[in-house]
Amino acid sequence: MSFWEQQRVVVTGGAGFLGGRVVEMLRERGCREVFTPRSKECDLRDRQAIRQLFETTQPTMIIHLAAVVGGIGANREHPGKFFYENAIMGIELIEQARLFRLPKIVVAGTICAYPKFTPVPFKEIDLWNGYPEETNAPYGLAKKMCMVQLQAYRQEYGLNGVFLLPVNLYGPRDNFDPASSHVIPALIKKCIDARESGAQHIECWGTGTATREFLYVDDCAEGLILAAERYNKSEPVNLGAGQEISIKSLVELIVKLTNFRGEIRWDASKPDGQPRRCLDTTRAEREFGFRARTPFEDGLRQTIAWYEQWKRSS
């Protein structure tokens, strides 16, 4: 039997943007028993609900992707909610994994855990060299505490916990709600709405000088699955594409790909967020053979095409 045919895997957040692709790929690899608890059925903030989940599914592995997330605006509006809910989900899930003697747990962290002024490209050894960017620090630190807990539990209890740091994701089925979406879906929606309404301009936050790195959702799902299968160490691992782009260049590219003909206006009173983001992905390639394969413009085209089709059919 293959590795995955022998596993019973719980994917928290398995109905979400990234989780949906992870579940599909696990099944493609022969995993017959994949469980995707929904928040209505299993509140991951509730210790008893997690115990019930373990007893019902009897997992050999958990891939923890559930999170309360959003863009800069949502992080500024809900710092307490983002900290508490992300921290408590991770803490309770990891504790119950220990008590259940789970063979392995894989936890997805966030690029927001890095210090605001991390040298580029971000290396995992730099995680503790400063405080995160203020607008998303509560979320980033909540996720970072999961890494601390996993390392402590490995040291004291022998729990095989793996912590991964995916960069900003994008792709088909992303969240396009302007109240909570991240930058790529927000810009795609903004450009298409402006194009269809005949608007003469779009407005973008900040100055456009900040840089970001983006990872196509299929590539991230592949990285998570490779780590789940092959990686069994305490050190955190970056998952990224290893390339950065300025927000200004990103906006101009999305404007071109969506055929919006109007003007771009920048609102410098709004925050840029972290000045630069780009990951060193050497460890992921060395430890479990992961390398992102989707060219950025190809991924954007697929994301735009999916959104346009979804919009027509909804």
Between the CA of residue 77 and those of 67, 71, 80, 81, what are the distances in Å?
Answer: 16, 10, 9, 9
Which neighbouring-strand residues pair with 238?
165
pLDDT of amino acid 1? 58
Question: Is the bond leading into 121 cis (omega within 30 degrees of zero)?
Answer: yes
3-state SS assignment for residue 261: coil
- Tokens of residue 16, six digits: 């979400």
DSSP H stretches of helix in 158-295: 183-197, 217-230, 247-258, 282-288
Could you report the average pLDDT of every consecutive run of 10 residues in the chain (314 residues)?
92 96 97 94 96 97 92 84 96 98 98 93 97 93 98 98 96 90 93 96 94 96 98 98 95 97 95 88 98 97 97 90
Superfamily of domain 4-172+214-242+278-294: NAD(P)-binding Rossmann-like Domain (3.40.50.720)
Q: Residue 243's Cα: distance from chain center in Å?
A: 17
3-state SS assignment for residue 223: helix
Residue carrying structure tokens 């045919």 = 5
DSSP 8-state class, residue 172: T
CA–CA gap between residue 77 and residue 68 (Å, rounded): 13
Rounded (5°) CA angle 86-299-262: 100
- Tokens of residue 21, six digits: 């692709």
Active site residue 139: yes
Query: Which entry of 84, 131, 139, 153 is annotated as an active-site residue?
Result: 139
Q: Where are the beta strands (DSSP E) in the chain?
A: 8-12, 33-35, 61-64, 104-108, 161-166, 168-170, 201-205, 211-212, 214-216, 237-239, 245-246, 263-267
Amino acid at 9: V
pTM > 0.85 = yes
Domain boundaries, the chain: 4-172+214-242+278-294
CA–CA gap between residue 57 and residue 63 (Å, rounded): 14
